[in-house]
Every structure is written in structure tokens, then in C-alpha cells.
Amino acid sequence: MVLAFLILSVSEKASGVIHSTAYSLNRARTSHSDASNTVRDEPDELEDGGHRGPSEMNEDHKAQCDLFKRVHQHVVEDMKSALHHSSIAGAEASLHPIEKKGAFFLNDADSPESIVVWHSFGDCCFVLMCDSDENVSLGGQILRQIIHSISCHVVFVTPSELLAKAGLVHAIVKLYLPAGKLLFVNQNVVKQYEQLLQRVAA
């Protein structure tokens, strides 16, 4: 199960989280540390929101934002490590590689043990936070499909462009991560959905 999907800006000028969608992160945190978390635009929010006051929900939102910031820091460190190792191996690598990918285990006080799968594309990095026993290979494949779909509709995949196309990004993420599940998406469904996305992107 996917706990969260993030798009990070890894530009030296503006680094941070530019998109986040949380899925079962609240349930995972509850079982991990007796804490709950607000899930925006997901069914869990409707189930839990009525039982918590504004103060508690604000605390949950802050904890989630802080967690995502720490994930961002870990991803940037892992990206630098990947670049360093590729340089040692003699591979051709620039200071700002077009694409890099990797995965690492995350142990954080505000989340259960999870695995983070990331794929950088220019100044953006696409990230999945998953259960520790999730299929990493499939996660990497889904990230590539999301990046490919976005790049088909956005000429320049930059942090500012993705912020401007937030609706399009949200629609693409919903296609490839239905309810936060890693699934093989039927190509006929993809083609039909991509045609609809053309209207969103226009």
C-alpha cells in the first residue's frame, strides 16, 4: 500500500514539497504511535474528520508536513549519494542529471517503517512512500508512468509548471495510484484517460 505520493522541487534555488497526496498514512501512524492524521481528498478524512476537533486536525496536518519535509531531506541526500557513486564508477554524470532513481528504508518517529522510492526528472523528484513490504519494482514502474504522462502534457516539467498545472497532476496521480494502490493499469484505460487529460491540459 502507498502511504503517500510526493513531488519535490530539488532545484538549488527553490527546494521543497510542491505536491503531496496522503493515502493510508493516517492509519499507519495511528498503529505506529497512537496518532492520527488528516488525509485530504480521501475517504479516510470523511470517516475521521467528525471525531476530531480543529486543534487536533491542525496538529496532525503540521506533523504530516514536518514528515514530508524530512522525507524531502532524505531524498536529496540519497540523490547526492547516487550521483557520487555513479561518478566513482566512472559513469558520465553532470551536476544536474536529467534522471536518477533510487529507494531507501525510512524509520521515522511519525510514521511506521516504510520504503521510499524516488525518481528525479530535471529539477523535480517524484516520490512514493510505501509499506516496507511493498513491491519496489512496481513502484518504480508506476513513477515512470506518471512522469511520462505528465511530460506528454507539460512541455517543461519544472516545479513552477507543475504548480500551475495542479489539476492535471492530480488527475494523473489518481489514474496511476487509485486509492493509493500499486496496480498494473490496463493500457486501453490509459489511452482513454489520456484523451480526457488532453482537455484538462488545454
pLDDT value of position 186: 79
Helix (H) or strand (E) holding 9: strand 2-10
> How much is the pLDDT for 82?
74
Nearest to 198 by CA among 174, 176, 165: 165
**Which residues, other chains included, contact 13 with Cβ-Cβ below 8 Å and sequence gap of 6+?**
none
CA atoms in the 13 A half-sphere facing the CB of 91 = 12
Q: What is the pLDDT of residue 13?
A: 78
Instruction: Write down the pLDDT at residue 200.
Output: 66
pLDDT of amino acid 74: 94
Higher pLDDT, 153 or 52: 153
Contacts with 196 (C-beta within 8 Å, 6 or more apart), sequence order: none
Q: How many domains does the chain have?
A: 1
CATH number of domain containing 177? 3.30.450.60
* Per-residue pLDDT at 26 exceeds 70: no
Q: Which amino acid is it at 102?
A: G
Range of the domain at 178: 2-201
How far, in Å, CA of 202 to CA of 199, rounded?
Answer: 5
Instruction: Tell me the average pLDDT across 156-171.
Output: 92
> What pLDDT, in 10s, does the model give residues 110-133?
777 899 999 999 899 999 999 999
Q: What is the model's pLDDT at position 125?
A: 96
Sheet containing strand 2-10, strands side by side: 15-22, 2-10, 124-131, 111-121, 99-108
Tens digit of pLDDT for each residue in 50-89? 455 666 668 888 889 999 999 999 999 999 887 655 544 4
* Average pLDDT taken over every residue of the chain: 79
